[in-house]
Amino acid sequence: MIASANRDGAPDVSPRGDLPGFAAVPDDRTIVLPDRPGNKKLMTLTNVLENAVVSLIFFVPGRTESLRVNGRARITTEPAVLAPLAAYGKPPLTALIVAVERAWLHCGRALIRSRLWEPGSYPAPDALPSLGTMITEQIGDIDAGEVEAKLAQANTVLLWDEPHRRQVEGVDLQRNVRYRSPAGELPAANRLPKRRAGDR
């Protein structure tokens, strides 16, 4: 999970999930996080352009302890940084380079109480309406089946990359980042990551 805020301090929290070792650790005070396809709101990236302060919390499946990190983030589109972050041969369009200011381990009592990693405690799949149903009820005048089909495609075929976005929107995304950056352009990228979290 990554928490950020805009220049006025309005907060946002966004989930981040990826393959084991996805968080690159080029040195003891730097973490590099790939930005995979998501909901296209770009709220975290927009906030970072206005306010670099971020907080992260890492959960490891099966472990009740978590890792908390506070620091300052910047956006990079440097190919040398993005290439090692590729998943299934698909590099991210951007990545967040986080300069770590504070990191500590959090005790496991919250996750123990929630029984987060105990499948037997999970609610039945039909205990809540599907996402497609909820979206249809909120927006109206759309077909729930069509929404579910698009969600299924996003969660499978487009999980790691969106070719149309890379070809059509990639340049616009980079221009938008440069345009909105307080410095007027993207900051220089970090060094090529040497190792990743979990590597030995």
Q: Average pLDDT in the 163-169 region?
A: 45
Distance of CA 152 to the CA centre of its chain: 19
CA distances (Å), origin 156, targets 37, 78, 162, 195: 11, 27, 11, 28
Q: Give mean pLDDT, residues 34-47.
A: 89
Answering whether pTM is above 0.85, one says no
CATH architecture of the domain with range 2-118+172-180: Roll (2.30)
Determine the pLDDT at residue 198. 42
Angle between helices 144-154 and 131-139 (to 10 degrees): 130
Q: How confident is the model at residue 95 (pLDDT cuts 50, 70, 90)?
A: very high
Looking at the DSSP bridge assignments, the partners of residue 68 are 57, 104
pLDDT of residue 89: 87
Given a cut of 70, whether residue 141 has pLDDT beyond it is: yes
Q: What digits encode the pLDDT tens for the residues 68-92? A: 999 999 999 999 999 999 998 889 9
